[in-house]
Each structure stands twice: as C-alpha cells, then as structure tokens.
Amino acid sequence: MGWIKRHLFFVIGGIVTLGFLGAGGFYIYKDWNRNSEAADKLNEIYGTLKSLQTQSPSPGNEKIDNTKIAKEQQQQLLAWMKSSEKFFQPIPSIPAGNISSETFAGALRRTVDAMQHEADSAGVLLPPKYDFSFSAERALVKFAPGSLEPLAQQLGEVRAIAETIFSTRANALDGIQRVRVSEDDVAGAPGDYIDEHSVTNELAIITPYVVTFRCFTPELSRIVSAFATSTNMFLIKSINVQPAGAAVLAPDAAGMPGGLPPGVMPGRYGSEMPGQMPPPTVAPVTAKGGLPTILKEQLLRVSLEVGLVKLLPKS
C-alpha cells in the first residue's frame, strides 16, 4: 500500500495505459471484422462479375460495352414501337359516344344504306338486300341489354372491311361474317357469323372476321396489299382461293345473270354477246427446246380470314 502511495502517478498512468490498450484492441478487432465482411462481399461481387463475363452474351470488356449497346437497342425498340402506332389506329364505333337503342338503330340503317351505295358506285356486286351481317338487328328498335357498345364497335369494323373491298373494285362481295356479341344475333342468319370468339392477351384484343368476295388475280393482290397497309391492324390469318365456277352470278327475275346488261351473256370476263361464237381454240405453239406458255385468267372466289388487332388501353 505504501508502494502505491509512493508511486501513485505511475499506477494511475499504468491503469490509463491499460484502458487505452483495451480500447485500441477493441477498435482493431471491430475494424478487422468490418474489413473481413467487406472482403467477403468484394469476393462475391468479383465472382458474380466473373460468371457474367463467361456468359453469352456478356456485359463486355474495355473494348466492347454490351450494356451500353443493350441500352441503345432498347431505345431503338421504343422508337420503333412509337412509329408503329400509326398501324394500330382504332376504328371508331358507329355511332360514337353515348349509345341508345334509338341512335344505334338509326345509325345501322344509314350505314347499311351508305355501304350499299358505295358498293354500287365502285361497281361491286352485293347479294340482294344485303345487310352486311346485321340482318338480325336491321329491323329492331330495341336491343338486348349490354349489346349496344359491342354492336356499334362491330358496325364500324365491318364498314372498314367493306370499304377496303370497295376501294380495290373487286367484282363482288359475297359476305362478311363476324362473331356473335349480342343475344339478338341468335336469331340472325347463320351465314352472318363465325363460330369463334375474340382473343385477349397482355397487349391487345384480336377479333376475327371472314370476308368472301369474287375477283381476278390483280384485284386479289390489291386487296391483300390494302389490308396489309391499312392504318388499322388487320392480320390475314388464312386465305382460301378457288375458281368461281359457273355459278358466279346469280340469275335475276328474268333469268339473266345478275349485274349484266340485257343481251349480254357471261363469258371469260362475264360479257359475251348472244349468238357470238367463242373464239376458236388455238393450240399453243411450242418453241423448240421449250414449254408452251399458257395464261388463262378466270374469276376467283376468295375467302379471307382476318384478325383485327385492337391495343388495350395503356395502364
């Protein structure tokens, strides 16, 4: 005890020194533990980077920055999607806006009459008193609940399809078939409908239609091109082409083929004078060392199945 009193400052200094040594050891241990965790994380990141570099494609290296290239391609894709919106323009419903039974009934009659006049102006034959697949609704003034909006949408789409056929001046439009969207469609003519339904995915609704018409090959080419270049996205799903055959034009009340002037009989292009002898058949001349070239144009009956793509609203 006397020694401590004589060396009090030394003892106090020793105790303080031991305290500092303990604190220093604690901080060293704490930093060492932090450094160990940082080293483990660094090794993990290095391992991930090394595994990415061995993948195909990889992020790249000092010469090729695949990450930058991917971002540039993403911007190009977004720009392409923006430019392609012009091909997905929605078809307005007929009538547009708030729809009642009275407004739809009036719009349906006016639209059908307008399409009949457009067909006549374009020289496209139609079936007698054709209602463009709306024969079940043409005479109604009241419609099934919940059917006005889908019917108005289909009326606008059917008119867009019919105007595409009219614009190419096909010989005849035999019919447009659509999916049933109303309880009133049950009483309609079976030939107005197809037994399919609209398909919805993450991006759009695809509504099928079947269009049957008669034309020659140049008109068929124009019709396919018109659907392909339309501002409304029509996808041609299938096409069935066959000769129109002898029953191309339906006879009228007088027994004459419909759509022909009096005194004219159907021939190669639907017009030969009665009593006129068909041109003599000339055997094809075969050139030496070659095959005969024969071109026989005939009227075709085409059944075209198209799907109308309608983008879903952006969320």
Digit-by-digit pLDDT tens for the chain (315 residues) are 666 666 666 667 777 677 766 766 666 766 677 777 878 888 887 777 777 666 666 666 666 777 777 888 888 887 776 766 666 677 889 988 888 999 999 999 999 999 999 999 999 999 999 999 999 998 888 988 888 999 999 999 999 999 999 999 899 999 999 999 999 888 888 889 999 888 888 878 889 999 999 999 999 999 999 988 887 788 889 999 998 874 444 434 333 334 444 333 344 334 443 444 444 444 555 555 556 655 667 899 999 999 988 877 765
Sign of the torsion formed by the C-alpha atoms of 176, 178, 184 and 187: positive
Please indicate, yes or no, if residue 27 is contained in any of the structural domains: no
- CB 233 within 8 Å of CB 308: yes
Helix (H, G, I), strand (E, B) or coil at 11: helix
- CB 171 within 8 Å of CB 125: yes
pTM above 0.75, yes or no: no
Please indicate, yes or no, if residue 154 is contained in any of the structural domains: yes
Q: Which domain holds residue 231?
A: 86-246+298-311
Please indicate, yes or no, if residue 283 is contained in any of the structural domains: no
Please indicate, yes or no, if residue 134 is contained in any of the structural domains: yes
* Total domains present in the chain: 1
Q: State both tokens at 293.
A: 């070239």
Closest CA to 142 of 151, 132, 133: 151
Please indicate, yes or no, if residue 270 is contained in any of the structural domains: no
Beta pairing partners, 206:
199, 309
Please indicate, yes or no, if residue 57 is contained in any of the structural domains: no
Provide the pairing of β-strand 300-311 with 234-243.
antiparallel
Look up residue 295 and give its amino acid. L
Rounded to whole angstroms, the Cα distance separating 68 from 78 reads 15
Helix (H, G, I), strand (E, B) or coil at 290: coil
CATH label of the domain that carries residue 211? 3.30.70.60
Please indicate, yes or no, if residue 22 is contained in any of the structural domains: no
Please indicate, yes or no, if residue 137 is contained in any of the structural domains: yes
